[in-house]
Amino acid sequence: MDVLKLWRRVRGLRERLRFKYGPQAATLLADISTYQARRALAASGPLAILVDNSVLGNAITHETAWVSTGTKKWGPHDVATGYSARIPVHPADSASVEYEHVKYLTGITHLARRGHLHLKTSAELQDETWRHPMGRFSGYGYFDYSLFNGIKLESVDGIKIPTLGPSYLNLPTPAEQQQARLASSGDALYKALLEKLGQKNSQDAWHIRTAETHGLFCFLTMDFKLRKTFEQLKGTEPFRSLTTRVMTPVELGQHLGIMPLPPHIFSYNDASFFVRSDLSMPGGKRRPLRLYKKSRP
């Protein structure tokens, strides 16, 4: 047997072992990273958390990409060859701010699967997602992977469905309908929050109000501008009297005692197709929808 054939067999065996044992190893590592948090939450009881859509978008840690294998001859023609595979969004050594927070999301979502955290959404948060391509929060490609896979976010206050119809009816857009709905609210806490946060942050003011009204531990967000504003205002009313918090994944993870864990360990979870965990998306960022619409990435 020549060296090339031997290497291919070894590589194939290695991949089979990763597919078979990778998910089990990932679960074990996640258990280790959340051990302290699980002990504390088992004693105190689970926490309920309102999850911002900015978190859902950043929780897509793997995307579907085209891996080129070069140009091959097909008769007289040169044909570009390759295959689709699951690829991590961020390189393993990424120094981006988003990646630091994603490394804590691995533990946060694991705690939710273990029943120690109850991750929630709301009617207005759901309304926001319907104005975007669904793949923005759940993945565009067939091989994409989200840390929230298998986790159902139940709404704390039901559902709001925008009124839709043909263009000749001149109906307001879903965004305009939401703004009108919030503007008509007589909720005192919402009005007080809106006065401090400003009209541009009306939706965030409502989400904070929702978390407070429903007794949730925190509003989990990766809107870093909102988090900075909240920190600046926390000494003033009504922020000073809030029992709910506005936290980032890093802050919540450190509060719970979670050890950060790179999302690469989940590369083989729910995978029955090619995986290239050694690669990453260009610039360590998710691709826009328009690139997914092409026949090949």
Residue with tokens 């961020």: 90
Q: DSSP for 30-60?
A: HHHHTHHHHHHHHHH--EEEEEPHHHHHHTE
pLDDT tens digits, one per residue of 236-245: 999 999 999 9
pLDDT tens digits, one per residue of 171-216: 888 898 999 999 999 999 999 999 999 999 999 999 999 999 999 9
Alpha-carbon distances of 50 from 175, 260, 285, rounded to whole Å: 21, 21, 25
- Cα dihedral: 135, 137, 139, 145 (round 10): -170
Model pLDDT, residue 293: 56
Share above pLDDT 70 across residues of the chain, in percent, rounded to a whole number:
94
Alpha-carbon distances of 77 from 38, 99, 171, rounded to whole Å: 59, 43, 53
Among residues 236, 205, 235, 196, the alpha carbon closest in space to that of 223 is found at: 205
d(CA 31, CA 60): 21
- Cα dihedral: 261, 265, 269, 273 (round 10): 150
Specify the DSSP element, H or E, that contains 121.
strand 117-121
Among residues 205, 227, 239, the alpha carbon closest in space to that of 122 is found at: 205
Contact 86, 267 (CB under 8 A): yes
Model pLDDT, residue 188: 97
Residue 14 burial class via C-beta count within 10 angstroms: exposed 0-12, middle 13-18, buried 19 and up: exposed
Residues lower than pLDDT 70 in the chain: 1, 3-4, 6-8, 10-12, 291-297
d(CA 201, CA 179): 11
Model pLDDT, residue 275: 94
**Which residues is 154 bridged to in the sheet?**
120
- pTM assigned to the model: 0.90
Q: Is 256 helix (H, G, I), strand (E, B) or coil?
A: helix
Residue with tokens 């950043």: 58
**Which residues is 163 bridged to in the sheet?**
none
Sign of CA dihedral 134, 276, 110, 211: negative
Model pLDDT, residue 132: 84
Contact 52, 219 (CB under 8 A): yes
